[in-house]
Amino acid sequence: MHLGLEGKVAIVTGSGQIVGKQMAMTLAEEGARVVINDQFPERVERTVAELSAKGYQALGITANVTDYKQVEAMVDRVVKELGRIDILVNNVGIAWGPQGPKSRGWFHDQDPADWADILDHNIVCTMNCSRAVLPHMIERHYGKIINISSVGTVASVVKTCVYQSGKGAVNQFTASLAGEVGRHGINVNAVVTGYTLGPRDALVEARRETHPEEYERRMAHKNRMMPVTPMGRMGTGEDYANAVAFLASDKASYITGHLLCVTGGFPQILEYSSGAIPGQGRD
C-alpha cells in the first residue's frame, strides 16, 4: 500500500498467531520493524522465524502483558535494541476466562472469579502497554497507538457481557487518551472488529461428524449474522490488518480518538426484512 512505514518500529501484542500475527506481517510488508509479543515462547519463535525467512526484521519478546513489570521490561528492551517505538498495536484480548467457553455463558450463571482474567486481557493489558510506551512517544513527540475492539460494543451480543464490558472500556480509553496526548503528536485510535472467520470455524468444521451439536450452533449463529452483514461474509485477519496499517501511518495523521468499524457494514446497516435481528441468539 506504500504507507510510508519503512524503518518504523511497531509492537504488536498477541502477535504469535492468528489475527495479531497477520497484523505484524502486514506492518512488516509495509517496511516496519516489528516486535512479536506473546506469552507463549513457542509462538514467538515460530512467528519470528517465519518473518525472518521472508526477509523482514522482527524481534521476539515473550511477555504477559497483563503484568506491568513484564510490559515495562519489554518496552525497555525494544528501545535499547531497536532505538525507538513508533507504533503500538494493543491486540491482546480474550472472550472467556480460565474455564474456557463455559465462562462465556449467561451472565447470571457466570463465576465472578472468572471476570478479572477477562478484564485483565482486554482493558488492563491495553492500559499497561499504552502507559509503558507513552513516555518514549511523548519525548519524541510522535506515536501511533491502535487498540483492538469488538463489534459487540456497538451492537448487543448476548452471552458476552464481561468481554464486551472490557472492550467497551477500550473504546472509552481510546477516546480519553487521544484527548490527553494529541498535543504530543500521538494518535490513538481503535479498530472495531466484526464477526471473524478464524481457527474456531476450521475446528468446528473438522469436528462436524463427532460434535454435531457444536457445528449446528455455529452454523445457526452464522446464519443469523450473514443476513445482517451487508458485505455478506465474515471478516479476516487481512481486513483488520489493513485498517491497522493505515491508522499506523502518517496518512491518518489527522485521525485520532476514532473507532474504525471494520465489520462488513454490521451493525451500521441492517436488513431487518431478512428476519435476522442482532442479539436474538438464544443458544
Q: Say if strands 186-193 and 87-90 run parallel, antiparallel, or are unpaired.
A: unpaired
Task: Name the packing angle between helices 237-247 and 18-29 (round to 10°).
Answer: 50
- The number of beta carbons lying within 10 Å of the beta carbon of residue 266 is 23
Integer Cα distance of 117 and 124 in angstroms: 10
Give the integer Cα–Cα distance in Å for 111 and 217.
23
**Contact indicator for 121, 66 with CB cutoff of 8 Å:** yes
By C-alpha distance, which of 174, 78, 158 is closest to 126?
A: 174
| Known catalytic membership, residue 195 | no
Alpha helices in the chain (DSSP H): 18-29, 41-53, 68-82, 115-119, 125-140, 161-181, 199-206, 212-225, 237-247
Active-site residue (options: 68, 142, 163, 254):
163
User: Which residue numbers are catalytic?
Assistant: 163
